[in-house]
Amino acid sequence: MPSKRQSLSSLIQSKTLLSYAAPSTVGRKKAVELTISPTQTIWQNEAVMLHYGDSLDLYHQWDVPTVIISDGAYGVLGFNGDPANHGDLPQWYEPHIKAWSERALPLTTLWFWNSEIGWAAVHPILERYGWRYVGTNIWDKGKSHIAGNVNTKQLRQFPVVTELCVQYVFEPKIRGLSLKQWLLHEWQRTGLRLREANQACGVADAATRKYLNQGHLWYFPPPERFELLVEYANTHGDVGGRPYFSVDTINPLTSAEWAKMRAKFYCPYGFTNVWQRDGLRNAERVKTQQGKGIHLNQKPLDLMERIICASSDVNDVIWEPFGGLFSGALAANQLKRRAYAAEIDATYYLYGIERFIPTPK
């Protein structure tokens, strides 16, 4: 059999259905149907679109994302195009981050996978383009990850068994103000006393203590409370300044519109930000017929499922710009989300799309 890389280019030329030996099921064949145009090569089913190519060329044609899963360069020469050093990561990521910001909505969550130093290097770029840090999740692969592989006499640091998955949301700005600032600004415009906001919302002190707070205690008013705030302000506030809490300066935001001003998050019961889970070694690992792992960075499906479930609903759109073996898109598909993903390397691409195709009996 020709190498995967060769077979993809011949496939693209022949514009036909490809059948080739599945990597993990020796002797069997899988039929892979690709949509090939002069500019694009795509594998798709009813909910997933997997592109062979550079995601930078594709973002503009993907539906707006509820979730972006970024698992790109780590600065460790992990794949063709991964820089040798974390110092080069800001430059590597910037065009992608810029493109994400141009398409993201306030309800979009970004999950940024990387090493500790890789993430630290890229964080300022994410902030510059409007991504607000929410929290860091640490994937602890446990001691078994390094078992039998550590020469403590030579090591100059503790052995590393972790990766990070950092959560960001896309911070909306209204006339240059963050939501926190805008809420207070609008209330002050009404000329009403601050504590009247509590009365407006029917709460003891939550409005002044949380919703109009400008510090770390700020809390996004639940849509039903926001509605009460808006109603009160537009009934009792200074007539000359109305409407209050309006983005278009014509109508105040409705509670449904307000609900979409922040990312979704469903906290799973019993989990913390430390994810204790072995490295991927079982049958889920995609291997060559000789038993060699195809991709150094293949992520476990259960971790991908966890972040997707936490930040999206059925039918929502998930982006996976650095597909590898498309673990994020596969998890999304299994969870009945829609997914757009890209992989630039032909070998990874072909092994990746095979994961979506059931092995023939």
Ligand X SMILES: C[S@@+](CC[C@H](N)C(=O)[O-])C[C@H]1O[C@@H](n2cnc3c(N)ncnc32)[C@H](O)[C@@H]1O
Name the minimum Å distance from CB 307 to ligand X.
Answer: 12
User: Which of 70, 234 has the CB closer to ligand X?
Assistant: 70
Comparing every residue's Cβ against ligand X, the nearest one is: 324
Alpha-carbon distance of 274 to 164, in angstroms, equals 10
CA-closest candidate to residue 302, choices 335, 264, 349: 335
Name the minimum Å distance from CB 326 to ligand X.
Answer: 6
Name the minimum Å distance from CB 223 to ligand X.
Answer: 35
Main-chain dihedrals φ then ψ at residue 239, nearest 5 degrees: -60, -35
Name the minimum Å distance from CB 348 to ligand X.
Answer: 5
At 144, the amino acid letter reads S
User: Which of 275, 348 has the CB closer to ligand X?
Assistant: 348
Positions that interact with ligand X (CB under 6 A)? 54-56, 71-72, 79, 81, 295, 297-299, 322-325, 327, 342-345, 348
Cα 182 from chain centroid? 27
User: Which of 172, 328 has the CB closer to ligand X?
Assistant: 328
User: Which of 104, 342 has the CB closer to ligand X?
Assistant: 342
Helix runs in 15-155, H state only: 89-103, 116-128
Pairing of strands 173-174, 67-70: unpaired
Strands lying side by side in the sheet with 131-140: 35-36, 41-44, 48-52, 338-343, 317-320, 67-70, 109-114, 162-170, 131-140, 274-276
Residue with token string 């430390």: 274
User: Which of 190, 298 has the CB closer to ligand X?
Assistant: 298
**Close Cβ partners of 32 (under 8 Å, ≥ 6 residues apart):** 17, 18, 19, 20, 43, 350, 353, 354, 357
User: Which of 87, 293 has the CB closer to ligand X?
Assistant: 293
Name the minimum Å distance from CB 15 to ligand X.
Answer: 22
Count Cβ atoms within 10 A of the Cβ of residue 159 and give its class: 0-12 exposed, 13-18 middle, 19 or more buried: exposed
Name the minimum Å distance from CB 249 to ligand X.
Answer: 40
